[in-house]
Amino acid sequence: MEKKHLSSIANHVLSRCAQKLDTAVDSLLEEFKREWDPQMSDYSKKLVEFCCLKVLPAMCINIDENICDGSFNRFTFDMMRAWEMPSSAGEESYTECMAKEREEKKVPIKTSQEQDDVSLFYSDLMPLLVDHESSVGEEAYVWLATFLPLVADVINGRFTFETLTAPTANQLHFPAYDQFLKEINKCIKHLQKQETPTGVTLADDEFILHVEGTAGSQRVVRHIGGTSWPGRLTLTNYALYFEASGVISHEDALKLDLTKGIEKSLKPAATGPWGAPIFDKAILYECSELQEGVVLEFPEMTSSTRRHHWLALVKEIMSLHQFLSKFNVESPLEGWEMHARTILGIIRLHAAREMLRISPPIPKSFLIFALLDELPKGDYILEELAKSLKKVNSTHPCSASSILRNLNVSQPCFPCLEMKEVGNESEIVQHKNVSSLESAVNHAKEEAKEMDMAKASAEGLKEDGISESAQVLMGLLEKLKNFILRSREIYTWKRPITTLTGTVATLIVLYKEWIGQAIAAFLFFLVATMLLARLTRSPEKQDKIVICTGSNQTTMESIVSAQQGLRTIREIIRNINISILKIWSILVSKAPKHTQTVMIAMSCGSILFMVVPFKIILMALVSYGSMMASPLGKRM
């Protein structure tokens, strides 16, 4: 029986949950009411969340089969829809809004039979689903990722969602979600079929993450001096293996260790014929155990996309082991849980690249440590990650390690690693464990957005040439700036003798009406200065002007300063516009009271100028300004 206070999708999800748990909906409601706190809000949403978390562990046990037949994909998508719109009131409001929008648009959409046969995911038809197919938003996707790390990790869940929904106005539709999960499962099965590197025995917890140089993939070339050796390159969660191609089979693999305990580095490199650095499509691996670095090239016609992809994956594994070493993660269960989360991140990246071949996604949207390297306060998030890792229940069916196990990925053998029955309390604990981590990530994400906006403003200034022109202008006006500073010191009585002498001289010039003679003396002074420069050959000694573009500010401070400068310019322009409009309103009597006040003031001023000599007015103004700037005037 449907509940009136719940939306149609929420009623459907509750019915499915009861069916999966082999119980009645009323039984679930009674169990929820026993744990419900009347002081809590969002009754409908909490009910949906309670029922979903009861059924998720059972679904994760047979996750491989459920993904293949599509039942897992549809059910979890409906969970997100129900969590996002749990109440009937919200559903009615949403339906009314959508009806109004469609009525306003009135744009009929026609598709041919050929278009109907095209795959919907990220094709030209996909944007049409934004208005004509149910979808979920970012919050619902991140909520599911909190309890189900298969769809995304809690650290980069929002970035993953933004990447997947970029072509569809930040709304995730079921065809996209369904294809994403199926590609994840397909990638895992593909990696499991890869051959073990020649002469290598992989550890129990070592999993192949990427392979190239095979018959069905692109070439990989190792450069040793002036010679080149094509071969197969394999990445696992512990090492990088290169097997040079032989006449019949591959030679024994060269192992490049990515774990802790040795000094190593990885960076981009350029290669070419006879060792000439012409093509920037390689990586250089160096460590203390090797006499010389290992150069691996990823040939392709135009860009360096393959090299960037491999570089990101290898650095992710290196960062994983550095994290485990830095925070002393000694527990095998905790260590493998972090391995599992990293492996799932790499698999999600593979799946997204298969779906977005035209525009491959950036790795940081899917890789945990690659994202934290770029986010502000990434070190703080790593600390929160280490704390949350100690509280994670690795035996939970929905943990990262359990999901890999249920997807038939090889696992380390731990005596204490056994599946346990979990109740709703376990899910609540799981949620509390990641709450502080999620809040830290959200805060860092907001700061990253502000930094991106500031960088965009700074880049815009550079592209328009404003930044460079402003630096040149400030350099040229440096001497004028010094002159203004010295004049301000004189005016504010920081040099009392000079200030007093200047004030008296100005008053005498005004009283004797020697203004014309004073201007003539100033012009003669400038002529004498230019003649002196010619006699001392200053143009030959100073044949160029050096503008210093350096700064003591950090990159972040420079970006903020540039953005603050833009805001100041906008504020000045806005004030000028307001002043012009005020003057215009006074001139045309738009504001009668202000216009009358201005007219009276102008009349009084005209009478004053007719009666009092102009030089007396100027002398009064100079005396008043000098007096008010003095220490005595400031105390008055």
In this prediction, residues 97-111 reach a mean pLDDT of: 59
Helices (H), 536-554: 538-541
List, for residues 531-549, the tens digit of each pLDDT value. 887 788 766 666 666 666 6
Phi, psi of 215 (to 5 degrees): -65, -30
pLDDT (tens digit per residue) in 210-260: 999 988 888 999 988 778 889 999 999 999 999 998 877 888 999 999 987
Say yes or no to pLDDT of 109 above 50: no
The rounded percent of the chain whose pLDDT value lies above 70 is 80
> Across the chain, what does the average pLDDT equal?
81
For 568-628, give the secondary structure using H, E and C.
HHHHHHHHHHHHHHHHHHHHCCCCHHHHHHHHHHHHHHHHHHHHCCHHHHHHHHHHHHHHH
Which residues neighbour 151 within 8 Å (Cβ) at sequence distance 6 or greater? 76, 141, 144, 145, 157, 160, 180, 181
Whether 143 has a pLDDT exceeding 90, the answer reads yes
124 pLDDT above the threshold of 90: no
- pLDDT-based confidence at residue 131 (cuts at 50, 70, 90): very low
Element (H, E) at 157: helix 157-164
At residue 610, does pLDDT exceed 50?
Answer: yes
The residue-averaged pLDDT of 186-213 equals 92
Note the CATH number of domain 190-421: 2.30.29.30
Chain position carrying tokens 């008010």: 628
Q: What is the mean pLDDT of residues 58-71?
A: 88
Please give the span between the terminal C-alpha atoms of the chain, in angstroms, as a whole number. 84
pTM for the model: 0.69
Q: Which pLDDT band, with edges at 50, 70 and 90, does 113 fall under? A: very low
Predicted local confidence at residue 509, as pLDDT: 85
pLDDT, tens digit, for every residue of 458-497? 555 555 555 566 666 677 677 777 778 888 887 788 888 8
Q: Average pLDDT of 63-80? A: 91
pLDDT band of 151, cuts 50, 70, 90:
very high
CA angle (527 as vertex; 526, 532 as ends), nearest 5: 95
Task: Quickly state the pLDDT bin for 52 (edges 50, 70, 90).
Answer: very high
State the pLDDT at residue 554. Answer: 58
Cα–Cα distance, 628 to 407 (Å, whole number): 83
Indicate the pLDDT class of residue 358, thresholds 50, 70 and 90. Answer: confident
Q: Which residue spans of the chain are classified as CATH 2.30.29.30? A: 190-421
